[in-house]
Amino acid sequence: MSERRASTRRPFDVYFNKYLDGQPYLCRSVDLSRNGMRALRLSEPKSSVDAFPVELQLPGESDSLWIWARAVRNEDADQGLEFVGIDDADRQRIDRFLAA
């Protein structure tokens, strides 16, 4: 199987909120890249929403990142998320974290 990711990924074990229909649902990230992340859904309803806001806090930072994401892969609780709406400053914060 070939690697489809265009960006380098880094292990990233952090809990975050995914908002579906305005309600937060706790998820756990597995890895992070500048363009997305792999996540585990812990408990959320079935939803037809294809894009949603994500609230993510990088370790050592107090301000949350607010990112629009969309699911690009769903396998049971495992989900691949692509960042489709992210502020340039927030992407730079992710880049700095990945480079550290």
Per-residue pLDDT of the chain (100 residues; tens, 9 = 90+): 444 556 788 999 999 999 999 999 999 999 999 999 999 999 888 887 889 999 999 999 999 999 999 999 988 899 999 999 999 999 999 999 999 8
**CA dist., res. 92 & res. 95, Å (int):** 5
CA 38, 34, 85: angle at the middle one, nearest 5? 90
pTM listed for this prediction: 0.87
Residue 73 belongs to a domain = yes
Q: How many domains does the chain have?
A: 1
User: CA 71, 40, 53, 26 torsion: positive or negative?
Assistant: positive
Residue 60 belongs to a domain = yes
Structural domain that includes position 83: 10-99
